[in-house]
Amino acid sequence: MKKNGEQSGVRPPEWKRRWIAWRNRVLGSHGFQNWAARIPPFSMVARRRAAQVFDLVAGFSYTQVLLAVVEVKLLDLLDKEPCNAATIAAHAGLSHDAALRLVRAATALDLAQEVAPGWWMLGQQGAALLTNDGALAMIRHHPLLYADLADPVALLRRDRTEPTELADFWRYGAQTAGETANRYSELMATSQAMVAREAIAAYRFDRHKRLLDVGGGHGAFVRAVAQACPDLALGVFDLPPVIAGTEPLIDSVGLGDRVALHPGDFFRDSIPQGYDCITLVRILHDHDDAQSIELLRAIRRALPPGGRLVIAEPMAGTPGAKAMGDAYFGMYLWAMHSGRPRTAAEYGELLQSAGFARWDRVKTLQPIIASVIVSST
């Protein structure tokens, strides 16, 4: 099995190396760039490429504008009625000039829209974001990632046992009772909502009798499955401090008699048996290969003959979302000191190493949010 995404040592063919080197020399030539900028349709391509380069340069500023918009609740304000800079300044606790600078930056990112000179409402991107609780939770959480990425080369050179903001948050949040565990699980729950929708739309969970969500946190996934599959018995397996916060949430939605709660550590305790379907929702990509195989083997032991394992999480190599896989989750998980983005084929290798008989990737409506793999014993 390849370790941590290693590829074979076979060099690319000579023709391919030469062709790419020639292409790059041409694209990097100022003479070619000037020529392409003047000749349609090359001019459109040249302008698009230039904009893409600038987006790479300015990307951090864009994310900080997004964070400021979320922190001052600008989207909520603009959703109510048209606002001018004075209203925005009073709402956000900013000076008039600062409010104007922020709303114009938000407009450039389509988070806001100027509907008349000096008056703004919600933009198209802002409207989509306002109802996306998972994305909003991640945006509020991002200052931890930004702190770790302040010196990215130092982060990459750092030993993975040294502390980082993200590593401390996830380790401390998962293992500590009380408010920190609640904050950890609430972030997991809100960010899992989108993944849950994709998984439920892609796979018929009602073909099973009993489903166990391993690492299920505060039960966001099983609550969603409970609505879609009213006859399915459910269970959640997670650390004791997490399960302590799960019970009142399950009871509050009337599922106390239907959802069994199992406190435990899936690296130390046996996976509860008696379930013909086990789910891993945004779990494996947080763990390195050796840990992932260990967990998969434990799940295989817990499943009956013919039982299914359903894996749902973002995956690397997703068409149209490749940057999300390796450029975002790759650095995020490096800062977290655990896990890595994987392609569907790499998940297949893990499953085969753990002894699963077969696996299939199930098409999802929004693969940028989550892909689904179903494996059988």
Nearest 10 degrees: Cα torsion 72, 74, 76, 79: 170
What integer pLDDT is reported at residue 189 of this predicted model? 65
What integer pLDDT is reported at residue 228 of this predicted model? 93
Total residue length of the chain: 377
Closest CA to 223 of 196, 205, 243: 196
What integer pLDDT is reported at residue 22 of this predicted model? 83
Q: Decide: pTM greater than 0.85.
A: no
Token pair 């390849």 is found at 2
Task: Give CA–CA dist 174/266, Å, rounded.
Answer: 13
What integer pLDDT is reported at residue 78 of this predicted model? 97
Please name the helix (run of DSSP H) or strand (run of DSSP E) that holds residue 234, with its range, or none.
Answer: strand 233-238
What integer pLDDT is reported at residue 289 of this predicted model? 94
What integer pLDDT is reported at residue 172 of this predicted model? 54
Report the Cα–Cα distance between both ends of the chain, in Å, rounded: 20
Please name the helix (run of DSSP H) or strand (run of DSSP E) that holds residue 214, with its range, or none.
Answer: strand 210-214
14, with CB counted inside 10 A (0-12, 13-18, 19+), is exposed
Give the CATH number of domain 14-130: 1.10.10.10
What integer pLDDT is reported at residue 43 of this predicted model? 74
Closest CA to 249 of 282, 213, 283, 222: 222
Would you give per-residue pLDDT tens digits along the chain (377 residues)? 555 545 556 888 888 888 888 887 877 888 877 777 778 876 777 777 777 777 788 888 999 999 999 999 999 999 999 999 999 999 999 999 999 999 999 999 999 999 999 999 999 999 999 988 878 888 888 898 999 999 999 999 988 788 898 888 776 555 555 555 555 556 666 667 788 889 999 999 999 999 999 999 889 899 999 999 999 999 999 999 889 888 998 999 999 899 999 999 999 999 999 999 999 999 999 899 999 999 999 999 999 999 999 999 989 988 877 888 888 888 999 998 888 999 999 999 999 999 998 999 999 988 888 899 999 98
Give the CATH number of domain 134-376: 3.40.50.150
Q: Cα separations (Å) of 50 from 44, 59, 317, 376? A: 10, 14, 24, 47
Please name the helix (run of DSSP H) or strand (run of DSSP E) that holds residue 233, with its range, or none.
Answer: strand 233-238
What integer pLDDT is reported at residue 18 of this predicted model? 87
Asked whether the beta carbons of 223 and 250 are under 8 A apart, the reply is yes
CB within 8 Å of 194: residues ≥ 6 apart: 132, 134, 135, 366, 369, 370
Sign of the four-CA dihedral 39, 44, 47, 52: negative
Annotated domain spans of the chain: 14-130, 134-376
